[in-house]
């Protein structure tokens, strides 16, 4: 039987879904080497799984540096963490990532005081800027909501606290430092920001709060053992206390989502507990796993 050339074989394999490509790697040495070969790799479907992280060290230059690591076995493709494909960006912070898109805050090269949000796909290098509000420089908590399975449109959430909003100091909440005053939501479909005064709570969200976007709902870890959830319209809110446990520790950052559900992971010295949220409205959690550290 005729033998197909490498180029033709690579063409055929590149038409397969990623899962099938992985099976093809096991067919023979020639196939494995073909799929991994630089020349053909670009045609092959790739899923990038990795993360960006930033380090800060007073004693080196640059003090602040950002890296990208690809978690797949091949360590490829690598994404340039400077995101230099974004034009006019003097310097930028990556604020959030959601299902393949990044939410960044960019200081304009031309005008260091001007700030913009940019949403981009670091692997395709496509980007859009989100019209600036007054808040990007003051707001600690901005998050991205994007679910490609539902729509190609995204939402940006800004949680504006009392201080950023300009509430006089003596009127600010004493118990909740930087209590969230207003929620602004930007819809890429509508192209506008919608503001609403937050009636729920009170609650405050730490700057680097863990968050997760699932089924059109943004879930965030808030102060005082609370999980705050809000949908993309801003119509539905849920404030869910984390599951009770004997050692009272203020740490909500164990929230994560998986397979369509919201989970909370809680660890003390002797064991790791995984809870699953049954229902936002009732705030009921069920203990799913209990793993002893010993």
Least Å distance, CB 32 to another protein, is 6
From CA 271, how far away is CA 53, in angstroms rounded?
28
From the list 12-20, 135-143, 216-224, 278-286, the region that binds another protein by CB under 8 A is 12-20
Kindly state whether residue 8 participates in binding another protein, applying the rule CB under 8 A: yes
Within residues 213-232, the interface with another protein by CB under 8 A covers: none
Q: How far is the CB of 112 from another protein (least distance, A)?
A: 40
Helix (H) or strand (E) holding 38: helix 38-41
Residues near another protein (CB under 8 A), total:
25
Between 24 and 180, CB nearer to another protein: 24
Q: Does 37 bind another protein (CB under 8 A)?
A: no
Q: 197: number of CA atoms within 13 Å, CB side?
A: 3
3-state secondary structure of 39: helix
Give the nearest distance from C-beta 72 to another protein in angstroms.
Answer: 10
Provide the minimum distance between the beta carbon of 3 and another protein in the complex, in angstroms, as a whole number.
8
The distance of closest approach from Cβ of residue 89 to another protein in the complex, given in angstroms and rounded to an integer, is 30
Name every residue whose Cβ is closer than 8 Å to that of residue 97 and which is 6 or more positions away in sequence: 51, 52, 103, 144
Closer to another protein by CB, 19 or 288: give it.
19
Residues 69-98 that bind another protein (CB under 8 A): 73
Closer by beta carbon to another protein, 36 or else 51: 36
The SS3 assignment for 184 reads strand
> Which residues are CB-contacts of 67 (< 8 A; sequence separation ≥ 6)?
52, 53, 54, 55, 81
- Residue 258 binds to another protein (criterion: CB under 8 A): no
Alpha-carbon dihedral sign for residues 194, 198, 200, 203? positive
Q: Cβ closer to another protein: 22 or 249?
A: 22
Instruction: Output the 3-class SS for 76-137.
Output: CCCCCCCCCCCCCEEEEEEEEEECCEEEEEEEECCCCCCEEEEEEECCCCEEEEECCCCCCC
User: For residues 25 and 153, which CB has a smaller minimum distance to another protein in the complex?
Assistant: 25
Task: Assess 43 for contact with another protein (CB under 8 A).
Answer: no
């Amino acid at each position: 039987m005729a033998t197909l050339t490498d180029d033709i074989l690579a063409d055929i394999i590149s038409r397969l879904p990623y899962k099938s490509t992985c099976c093809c790697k096991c067919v023979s040495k020639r196939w494995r080497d073909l799929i991994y070969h630089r020349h053909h790799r670009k045609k092959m479907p790739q899923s990038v799984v990795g993360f960006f992280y930033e380090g800060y060290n007073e004693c080196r230059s640059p003090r602040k540096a950002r890296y990208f690591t690809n978690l797949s076995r091949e360590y490829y493709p690598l994404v340039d963490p400077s995101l230099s494909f974004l034009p006019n960006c003097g310097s930028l912070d990556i604020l959030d990532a959601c299902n393949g898109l990044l939410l960044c805050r960019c200081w304009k090269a031309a005008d260091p005081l001007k700030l913009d949000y940019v949403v981009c796909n670091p692997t395709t290098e496509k980007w859009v800027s989100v019209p600036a509000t007054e808040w990007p420089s003051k707001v600690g908590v901005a998050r991205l909501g994007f679910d490609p399975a539902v729509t190609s449109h995204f939402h940006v959430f800004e949680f504006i606290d009392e201080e950023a909003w300009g509430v006089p100091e003596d009127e600010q909440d004493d118990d909740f430092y930087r209590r969230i005053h207003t929620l602004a939501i930007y819809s890429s479909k509508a192209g506008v920001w919608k503001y609403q005064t937050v009636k729920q709570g009170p609650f405050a969200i730490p700057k680097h709060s863990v968050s997760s976007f699932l089924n059109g709902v943004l879930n965030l870890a808030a102060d005082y053992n609370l999980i705050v959830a809000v949908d993309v319209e801003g119509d539905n809110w849920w404030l869910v206390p984390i599951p009770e446990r004997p050692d009272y520790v203020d740490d909500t950052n164990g929230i994560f989502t998986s397979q369509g559900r919201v989970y909370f992971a809680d660890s003390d010295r002797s064991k790791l507990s995984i809870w699953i949220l049954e229902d936002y409205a009732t705030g009921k959690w069920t203990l799913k796993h209990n793993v002893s550290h010993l």
